[in-house]
């Protein structure tokens, strides 16, 4: 019997929403301040997912005004549905326009420009009645779940909004999804906040207009107060498999380190089975680390190559940039076989810089670039936001490790280097951690991981270790916000060229 391992999409892929069309599943996630926005994935088995694009891949689709846009702003909590032969995604851009709908004939796009909807709130959802009536459930500005009848083509609000069921009494009822299953309408929501108290609850009614009856076993799912390795479980979406089985995709985190534990990869996408009790209520299993796969069919997909030599005419869809990626800031043709980045800002400490990166998806991993700084300045950075990042920087005849932690910015180490291409590497490990301070003896480490910055390949005898830094300062619990680590290339002066980027998971240490 095949078993899958959670998460099914690792790294910063929160707020998953899923729909099935025939034997195919499509899933979208929040992307917050990053461009392109809303990664979209395809799967045949709910386990193996391949990113086939981004819903918002044109800058005009994704207004993140500068100045004004901020880390953990941008795109919140999308919903994807298939109706009347088209794919629909509804979403909120909290930094530029509010709620909107985009559509496409094919899930890989192209997707339309946004149709804006005059509804104040976040986490919108779409559901249709058999006569074509379209309902939008969303989390209202005063808290609680609201419902409105809309025309999603024109963006018009036809009725409402009006209050519906808002959970079992926990804080922040949000992330509603409305379904017609059998003779009932079900309203699935998240509540309890997106931290350790996160949970999933459900109500049902004979009509979308209510009245609503909460499930007697609410919350359906919560890992709060447990010792499970997966925490913050919530923000789920239900899907029925072709064999009649039911599943939930949802977000969760994998915290590490000394109490109170921290997570560094962001909120990830998990999968858990769903059963139905005799009274017609769903029963959701605690999110397993491993579990028998849906159906029994097994459809592995080709994942992105660990090494990108930048020989393709376009950047792969997993490459993202904070806020924007202006046309003049990057090129794959200026120096064939290289990605050239031209500085649009002088520092990573304020929005407006040039950065192209990918999500960190494994706790133990290594990322390396071959960089030619020329007369410019740039390098390899691990980013949470403008106030929380580590960088290995080349320029002006030297390499340096720079740490930005809240209000503090410090150059940790420098080393003179000759001109020409250099290999820069960050190796992230969860064993043999650096101590929180030199005074602490064995057992005094508190971080979830250690980030080691190297000039060269760490496995080569000539490589030089410049610094090792505690990873907890690049965690959500320290930085706050909704995102996870992104590892990428940047330029903050002149034009900098990168011949390759190599990201590989490392074997986890033995327990």
Residue tagged active-site, from 174, 268, 393, 493: 174
Asked if 159 is an active-site residue, the reply is: no
User: CA separation (Å) from 306 to 144, 229, 303, 361?
Assistant: 43, 27, 8, 12
- Tell me if 505 sits within 8 A of 364, measured CB to CB: yes
Counting Cα atoms < 13 Å in the Cβ hemisphere of 279 gives 9
- Tell me if 205 sits within 8 A of 184, measured CB to CB: yes
- Tell me if 38 sits within 8 A of 89, measured CB to CB: yes
The token duo for 50 is: 């391949």
| Residue carrying structure tokens 């990166």 | 357
Asked if 174 is an active-site residue, the reply is: yes
Cis status, amide bond into 161, omega within 30 of 0: yes
Cis status, amide bond into 211, omega within 30 of 0: yes
- Tell me if 458 sits within 8 A of 271, measured CB to CB: no
DSSP assignments along 61-113, one per residue: GS---TTT--TT-SEEEEEEEEETTEEEEEEEETTTTEEEEEEESSTTSPPPP
CA 466/CA 382 separation, integer angstroms = 15
- Tell me if 29 sits within 8 A of 15, measured CB to CB: yes
Cis status, amide bond into 260, omega within 30 of 0: yes
- Tell me if 66 sits within 8 A of 313, measured CB to CB: no
What H or E segment, with its residue span, contains residue 478? helix 476-479
- Is 93 exposed, middle or buried (CB count within 10 Å of its CB: 0-12, 13-18, 19+)? buried
Residue tagged active-site, from 15, 95, 123, 470: 15
- Tell me if 462 sits within 8 A of 384, measured CB to CB: no
CA 68/CA 58 separation, integer angstroms = 20
**First-last CA distance in the chain:** 26
As annotated, the active-site residues are 15, 174
């Amino acid at each position: 019997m095949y078993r899958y391992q959670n998460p099914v999409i690792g790294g910063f892929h929160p707020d998953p929403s899923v729909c099935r069309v025939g034997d195919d599943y499509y899933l979208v996630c929040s992307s917050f301040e990053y461009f392109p926005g809303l990664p979209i994935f395809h799967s045949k088995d709910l386990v193996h997912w391949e990113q086939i694009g981004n819903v918002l891949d044109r800058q005009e689709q994704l207004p993140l005004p500068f100045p004004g846009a901020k880390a953990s702003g941008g795109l919140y909590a999308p919903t994807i549905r298939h109706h009347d032969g088209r794919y629909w995604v509804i979403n909120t851009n909290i930094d530029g326009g509010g709620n909107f709908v985009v559509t496409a004939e094919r899930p890989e796009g192209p997707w339309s420009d946004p149709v804006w909807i005059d509804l104040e709130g976040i986490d919108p959802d779409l559901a249709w009645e058999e006569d074509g009536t379209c309902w939008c459930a969303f989390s209202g500005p005063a808290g609680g779940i609201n419902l409105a009848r809309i025309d999603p083509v024109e963006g018009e609000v036809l009725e409402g909004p009006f209050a519906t069921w808002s959970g079992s009494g926990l804080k922040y009822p949000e992330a509603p999804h409305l379904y017609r299953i059998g003779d009932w309408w079900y309203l699935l929501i998240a509540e309890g906040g997106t931290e350790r108290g996160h949970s999933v609850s459900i109500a049902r009614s004979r009509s979308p207009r209510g009245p609503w009856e909460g499930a007697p076993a609410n919350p359906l799912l919560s890992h709060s107060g447990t010792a499970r390795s997966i925490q913050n479980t919530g923000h789920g979406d239900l899907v029925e498999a072709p064999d009649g089985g039911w599943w939930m995709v949802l977000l969760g985190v994998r915290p590490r380190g000394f109490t109170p534990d921290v997570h560094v990869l962001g909120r990830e996408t998990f999968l858990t089975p769903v059963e139905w009790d005799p009274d017609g209520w769903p029963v959701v299993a605690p999110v397993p680390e491993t579990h028998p796969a849906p159906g029994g069919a097994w459809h592995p997909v080709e994942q992105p190559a660990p090494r990108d030599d930048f020989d393709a005419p376009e950047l792969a869809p997993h490459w993202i940039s904070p806020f924007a990626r202006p046309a003049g800031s990057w090129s794959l043709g200026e120096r064939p076989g290289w990605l050239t980045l031209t500085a649009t800002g002088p520092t990573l400490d304020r929005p407006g810089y040039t950065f192209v990166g990918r999500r960190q998806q494994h706790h133990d991993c290594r990322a390396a670039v071959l960089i030619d700084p020329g007369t410019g300045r740039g390098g390899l950075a691990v980013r949470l936001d403008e106030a929380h990042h580590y960088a290995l920087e080349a320029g002006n005849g030297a390499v340096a490790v720079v740490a930005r932690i809240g209000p503090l910015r410090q150059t940790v180490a420098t080393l003179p280097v000759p001109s020409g291409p250099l290999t820069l590497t960050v190796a992230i490990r969860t064993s043999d951690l650096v101590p929180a301070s030199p005074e602490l003896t064995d057992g005094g480490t508190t971080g979830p991981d250690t980030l080691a910055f190297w000039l060269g390949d760490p496995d080569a005898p000539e490589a030089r270790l410049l610094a090792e830094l505690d990873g907890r300062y690049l965690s959500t619990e320290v930085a706050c916000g909704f995102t996870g680590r992104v590892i990428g290339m940047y330029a903050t002066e002149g034009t900098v060229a990168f011949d390759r980027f190599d990201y590989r998971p490392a074997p986890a240490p033995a327990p």
